[in-house]
Amino acid sequence: MARFLLRRIILGLFVLWLVTIVVFLIFYVGPGRAQVARTLAGREATPQTVALVSHRLLLDRPLIVQYGHFMWLLLHGNLGYDYYHDQSVNSILKAAFPITLSLVAGAAILWVIIGVLTGILSAVRSRSLMDRSFTALALLFYSMPTFVLGFLLLLVFYYEFTIHGLNLFPGSGYTPFTTNPFEWFRGLVLPWITLALVSAAVYTRLTRGAMLDVMGEDYIRTARAKGLSERRVIFRHALRAALTPVVTQFGIDVGVLLGGAIITEQVFGLPGLGYTAVQAIVESDLPVIIGVVLVAATAVVVANIVVDALYAVLDPRVRLH
């Protein structure tokens, strides 16, 4: 188990190193290399600021020296400096990341519960009215763009409720948990539901398909022949084996969304990583874009390492590979 996880961690670190090389080549060595300092400094930078950026990043030195300096800063947790807003990239992402984390964590709990439970019920009662209803709902939400569902929820639960004197949910904005836990929860309910309903559709279909495959296996028939209760057969034997594709999808979804749930954050005015990335692109704020890319890549790698650990727990055979 320990050796299995160690190999996965080493592989993850190798992938992150490759990401740093790609990021460096794109933003520091790509087209317009002579204008790197001006691009990093921002559109309104003065010649003095451009000269300062060039000096700080050693842009007048050989590429290997520049990359070494770039990696040295990253290894010390320094994502650079945002000259456009005159503050460190770390401080910008430190303010944005908890918002995205709160959004993704709450939505992930909801979509796993909804998706897995509806998938189990659909598989156990295959071809029943319940199965067809859950499948139809999954297809509906899977086909619905996130911004459409978000605006519909805002229209009903914010606009309509507010004009009738029911101020249950705020229309936009974010309240830190440490400031007011209730307002934090109230402000995230609609974004959680939006993200969860769209994502849960995938988990319903995955769980249903995996459960139907597993329920036909010999060891399930053996468990039933031994007189085990149907609930124990389903949840202890069938579900555990069927969760592998669910865990895979969960790791991908969480890793990607931790890099910024762009549409959801834009619809509900949540200044998380996705919102920050969009603003940085609009403003051509290159240091922040680089920081978001690196944080997003790290989130995906870490999520996949966690998924590999869960594989080893769900299926002991994985530990041998």
CATH code for the domain in which residue 277 is found = 1.10.3720.10
187/240 same-domain check: yes
Q: pLDDT tens digits for 30-43? A: 655 557 777 777 66
| Token pair recorded at residue 50 | 């451009």
Distance (Å, whole) CA 60 – CA 319: 49
150/43 same-domain check: no
206/83 same-domain check: no
216/245 same-domain check: yes
Which domain range does residue 79 map to? 2-89
What is the rounded average pLDDT of the residues 80-92? 86
Distance (Å, whole) CA 225 – CA 223: 5
pLDDT the model gives residue 321? 53
CA-to-CA dists, residue 270 to 184, 190, 247, angstroms: 12, 12, 27
Between 120 and 4, residue with greater pLDDT: 120
Between 205 and 35, residue with greater pLDDT: 205
pLDDT the model gives residue 319? 55
pLDDT the model gives residue 315? 63
Q: Which residue has the tokens 């796993």?
A: 112
Share of the chain above pLDDT 70, in %: 94
112/174 same-domain check: yes
From 66, 89, 112, give the residue that closes a domain: 89
Nearest alpha carbon to residue 242 among 302, 318, 315, 166: 315
Distance (Å, whole) CA 36 – CA 158: 45
- Write the burial class of residue 54 (CB in 10 Å: 0-12 exposed, 13-18 middle, 19+ buried): middle
Q: pLDDT tens digits for 251-305? A: 888 888 888 788 899 899 899 999 999 988 888 788 899 999 999 999 989 988 8
End-to-end CA distance of the chain: give it in Å, rounded: 10
pLDDT the model gives residue 97? 92
- Per the structure, the count of domains in the chain is 2
84/215 same-domain check: no
Distance (Å, whole) CA 36 – CA 170: 42
Share of the chain above pLDDT 90, in %: 25
44 phi/psi in degrees, rounded to 5? -100, 15
Q: pLDDT tens digits for 121-166? A: 888 888 889 888 988 888 888 888 888 999 999 998 888 888 887 8
22/126 same-domain check: no
DSSP state, residue 284: T
10/126 same-domain check: no
From 36, 66, 89, give the residue that closes a domain: 89
250/270 same-domain check: yes
From 89, 113, 145, give the residue that closes a domain: 89
What is the rounded average pLDDT of the residues 51-74? 84
Distance (Å, whole) CA 120 – CA 116: 6
72/151 same-domain check: no
19/84 same-domain check: yes
194/124 same-domain check: yes
What predicted TM-score, i.e. pTM, was given to this entire model? 0.83
pLDDT the model gives residue 190? 92
Between 25 and 41, residue with greater pLDDT: 25
